Amino acid sequence: MKVLVLGASGFIGSAVTHAFVRAGHIVWGQTRSQETADTQFSPCEIIPVVCDPTTEDGRVIWTNIAKQIDVVVDCLAAGGADQALGIFNAFLEAVKGRPEGSPRPTYVYCSGHYVMARGYGGLDEWSDERQPAEAPINKGTIWRTKIEGAVVGEQSINGIVVRPACVYGSSGSYFGDYHFKPALDALEAGKTEFESIISDNGKILTIHKDDAADLFVRVAEAAPACRGEVFLSANPSTDNIRDILDAIVRITGLKGWKAKKPADAYETAWITPLLARPSLGQALTGWQPKRMAVSDGMDVYWVRSSAGAC
Ligand SMILES: NC(=O)c1ccc[n+]([C@@H]2O[C@H](COP(=O)([O-])OP(=O)(O)OC[C@H]3O[C@@H](n4cnc5c(N)ncnc54)[C@H](OP(=O)(O)O)[C@@H]3O)[C@@H](O)[C@H]2O)c1
């Protein structure tokens, strides 16, 4: 297949782009940075597309490529419903001139699992991708349902949504910002403890970036069977921030950690438990996450995060 990944330099986007290349596809990667294109894309068999996809000039550049390819994946940093819908509508415009009877082009939108978050509790709080996305806890993320609904409801294409849980591996993404960096800062300052955000129960739904990327490739390859569906990209069991912080203490030699309250809506969202188990990815594509949980594999995840991205 010919694939264009928007946000190909990002934490999820880079894993997704490399996974499509490894799977044998012809892959374009979009970035706003010529340096990223030269140093991270060209040497890795990714065809660079340098533009800002949110501007009119940039739209012309990436949609010219989208006209001739099979799959577009939106892995851009979240910028709200209007930005996501603008990108999606530009894609629809680009592909609408294809000859009648052509195969449907595919659009995969990278969403987030917070649209499903119901908080901690019993089985009544459990969810999966077959449940409505009502986000009673994280109202700040409910805008996602506008773009999700547009993508899965569009009949002229294969529209697919993937909702990654809290993503780990490599530079750690928010695990790096929220949990690893405070420990590193404490070590550097000669302190014996570090502070971290955590909810009362500590539960968190997670997925390794490479397992997440594998699901993107599988649903795109099987797009005619996956169209109109939402896929949760998560490990089958929850992880626990307590175990993650204890593992950091074991590895660093720090004496312990202290809980601190979230400072903003993003931190609140991060620690809000989502009790969910994915099932559609396996049922339709045979997808199965392979990597160890964050706390179980901390020895390698910690080394990677403190050394920089791979
Ligand atoms: N990380 C997680 O744990 C996680 C979990 C669930 C869902 N998600 C969602 O998944 C999507 C991708 O997340 P991510 O963490 O991979 O994103 P990211 O690394 O923060 O950003 C992806 C790329 O977007 C581009 N970008 C950033 N700001 C931009 C702007 N203002 N205009 C145009 N391009 C911009 C950057 O590329 P260039 O600088 O190269 O142009 C960046 O590399 C987001 O919607 C996010 O909310 C993330």
The two structure tokens encoding residue 299 = 């020895």
Q: Strands 256-260, 230-233: parallel, antiparallel or unpaired by DSSP?
A: unpaired
Distance in Å, CA 232 to ligand 1 centroid: 18
194-227 pLDDT tens trace? 999 999 999 999 999 999 999 999 999 999 999 9
Q: Does residue 295 surpass a pLDDT of 70? A: yes
pLDDT tier for residue 141 given thresholds of 50, 70 and 90: confident
36-75 pLDDT tens trace? 999 999 999 999 999 999 999 999 999 999 999 999 999 9
Higher pLDDT, 127 or 306: 127
Q: Stretch 7-28: mean pLDDT, rounded?
A: 98
Q: What is the CATH number of domain 2-166+207-236+276-290?
A: 3.40.50.720
Q: Which residue has the tokens 């065809």?
A: 47
The pLDDT value given to residue 171: 81
Q: Does residue 29 surpass a pLDDT of 90? A: yes
Distance CA 11, CA 6 (A): 12
Is 110 near ligand 1, meaning CB less than 6 Å away?
yes
Q: Does residue 255 surpass a pLDDT of 80? A: yes
Q: Stretch 83-92: mean pLDDT, rounded?
A: 98
Best probe residue, ligand 1, of 46, 50, 76 (max atoms within 8 Å of C-beta): 76
In the beta sheet, which residues pair with residue 26? 2
The pLDDT value given to residue 165: 96
Task: Record the pTM.
Answer: 0.96
Q: Name the average pLDDT for the chain.
A: 94
The two structure tokens encoding residue 285 = 């594509």
Amino acid at 306: S
The pLDDT value given to residue 137: 67
Are the beta carbons of 74 and 17 closer than 8 angstroms? no
The pLDDT value given to residue 308: 57
**Which residue spans within the chain are E strands per DSSP?**
2-6, 26-31, 47-50, 71-74, 106-110, 158-164, 166-168, 193-197, 203-204, 206-208, 230-233, 239-240, 256-260
Q: Stretch 216-244: mean pLDDT, rounded?
A: 97
Q: What percent of the chain has pLDDT over 70?
A: 96
Distance in Å, CA 139 to ligand 1 centroid: 20
pLDDT tier for residue 117 given thresholds of 50, 70 and 90: confident
Q: Stretch 128-140: mean pLDDT, rounded?
A: 78
Nearest CA to ligand 1 atom 20: 77
Amino acid at 76: L
pLDDT tier for residue 304 given thresholds of 50, 70 and 90: low
- Closest ligand 1 atom to residue 164 Cα is 6
Is 10 near ligand 1, meaning CB less than 6 Å away?
yes
Interaxial angle between packed helices 81-95 and 144-153, expressed in degrees from 0 to 180 and rounded to the nearest 10: 20
The pLDDT value given to residue 309: 60
Distance in Å, CA 210 to ligand 1 centroid: 16
**Which range (95-109, 115-129, 216-230) has the least confidence?**
115-129
The pLDDT value given to residue 136: 64
Distance in Å, CA 5 to ligand 1 centroid: 12
Distance CA 174, CA 194 (A): 16
Burial of 51 (0-12, 13-18, 19+ CB in 10 A): buried
Q: Strands 206-208, 166-168: parallel, antiparallel or unpaired by DSSP?
A: parallel
Annotated domain spans of the chain: 2-166+207-236+276-290
Q: Name the phi and psi angles at 159, rounded to 5.
A: -95, 125
Is 52 near ligand 1, meaning CB less than 6 Å away?
yes
The pLDDT value given to residue 131: 87
Is 164 near ligand 1, meaning CB less than 6 Å away?
yes
Are the beta carbons of 87 and 66 closer than 8 angstroms? no
Q: Stretch 21-33: mean pLDDT, rounded?
A: 98
Strands of the sheet with 2-6, listed across from one edge: 47-50, 26-31, 2-6, 71-74, 106-110, 158-164, 230-233
Distance in Å, CA 13 to ligand 1 centroid: 7
Higher pLDDT, 55 or 303: 55
Amino acid at 23: A
Q: How many CB atoms lie within 10 A of CB 191?
A: 14
Best probe residue, ligand 1, of 5, 32, 39 (max atoms within 8 Å of C-beta): 32
